[in-house]
């Protein structure tokens, strides 16, 4: 029997999925961007060739949809497995480029799929902080981004997103019309050689610093 991961990848590979993605992206740009009076900076850092790990802060469920307007390329995003439980909604998410990951566990299958996508030259969204956080500081990032960059040679683009927590934080159902701003930092290139664990930790700290800088820029842009 086809599992959720296999089904998601099969749907995402269809030509019709790109049509769905572009249509939804266009709707987001026309409806949500004016509603949140979105400001963007650094979009050129995402419109680059080759594999890219988009590494944003995570403060709201709005983050991933709004990120689609930062790049003209399709974004593939890790999404919690429970969202794919409904067959039809799961198929819609897969058409948008999402693929399931088990939260709170080391999901090797999801990581393998992310590696395949990056090796194929795609853009993959990975939240360095893991789950949603709160506040203006980037306290800790995990080594998942560093691991994927080391395995694939993908560039890492940190993205600060300000305003989404105030617009639709945890427990909020209807988004408030708060200004949102996004700022993408210059791409970080991993070392050519495979990183050791200590090197991955160092690279993760660099990602954290650049992510905080981009977050600060977004917060200034949102004022």
pLDDT in tens, 54-91: 999 999 999 999 999 999 999 999 888 888 888 899 99
Cα three-residue angle 186-189-190, rounded to 5 degrees = 145
CB atoms within 10 A of CB 148: 23
| DSSP structural state of residue 84 | G
Q: What is the pLDDT of residue 147?
A: 96
Terminal CA-CA length for the chain:
51
DSSP state, residue 30? I
Spatial contact of 37 and 127, defined as CB atoms under 8 Å apart: no
DSSP code at position 42: -
Q: Is the dihedral of CA 178, 183, 184, 185 positive or negative?
A: negative
Looking at residue 172, its pLDDT comes to 84
Instruction: Give the number of other CB atoms < 10 A from CB of residue 123.
Output: 25
Enumerate the domain spans of the chain.
Answer: 4-222
Query: Rounded to whole angstroms, how far apart are CA atoms 21 and 29?
Result: 12
- Predicted confidence at residue 169, as pLDDT, reads 87
- Going by their DSSP bridges, the two strands 75-80 and 181-184 should be labelled as unpaired
pLDDT tens, residue by residue, 28-62? 999 999 999 999 999 999 999 999 999 999 999 99
Model pTM greater than 0.85?
Answer: yes
C-alpha span between 114 and 94 (Å, rounded): 14
pLDDT at residue 1, as a whole number: 38
- CB of 77 within 8 A of CB of 66? no
Residues of the chain with pLDDT under 70: 1-2, 103-107
Can you give the pLDDT at residue 137?
A: 97
| Confidence at residue 170, expressed as pLDDT on a 0 to 100 scale | 82
CATH of domain 4-222: 3.40.1130.10
């Amino acid at each position: 029997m086809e599992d959720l991961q296999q089904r998601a990848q099969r749907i995402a590979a269809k030509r019709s999925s790109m049509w769905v993605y572009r249509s939804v992206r266009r709707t987001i740009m026309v409806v949500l961007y004016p509603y949140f009076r979105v400001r963007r900076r650094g979009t050129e850092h995402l419109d680059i060739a080759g594999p890219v790990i988009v590494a944003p802060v995570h403060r709201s469920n709005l983050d991933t949809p709004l990120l689609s307007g930062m790049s003209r390329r399709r974004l593939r995003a890790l999404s919690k497995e429970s969202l794919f439980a409904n067959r039809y909604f799961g198929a819609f998410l897969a058409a948008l480029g999402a693929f399931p990951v088990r939260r709170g566990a080391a999901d090797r299958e999801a990581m393998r799929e992310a590696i395949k996508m990056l090796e194929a030259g795609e853009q993959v969204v990975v939240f360095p902080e893991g789950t949603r956080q709160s506040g203006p500081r980037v306290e800790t990032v995990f080594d998942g981004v560093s691991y994927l960059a080391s395995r694939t040679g993908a560039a890492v683009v940190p993205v600060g997103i300000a305003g989404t927590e105030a617009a639709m934080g945890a427990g909020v159902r209807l988004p408030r019309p708060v200004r949102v701003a996004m700022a993408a930092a210059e791409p970080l290139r991993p070392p050519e050689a495979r990183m050791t664990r200590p090197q991955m930790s160092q690279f993760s700290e660099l990602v954290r610093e650049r992510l905080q800088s981009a977050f600060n820029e977004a917060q200034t842009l949102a004022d």
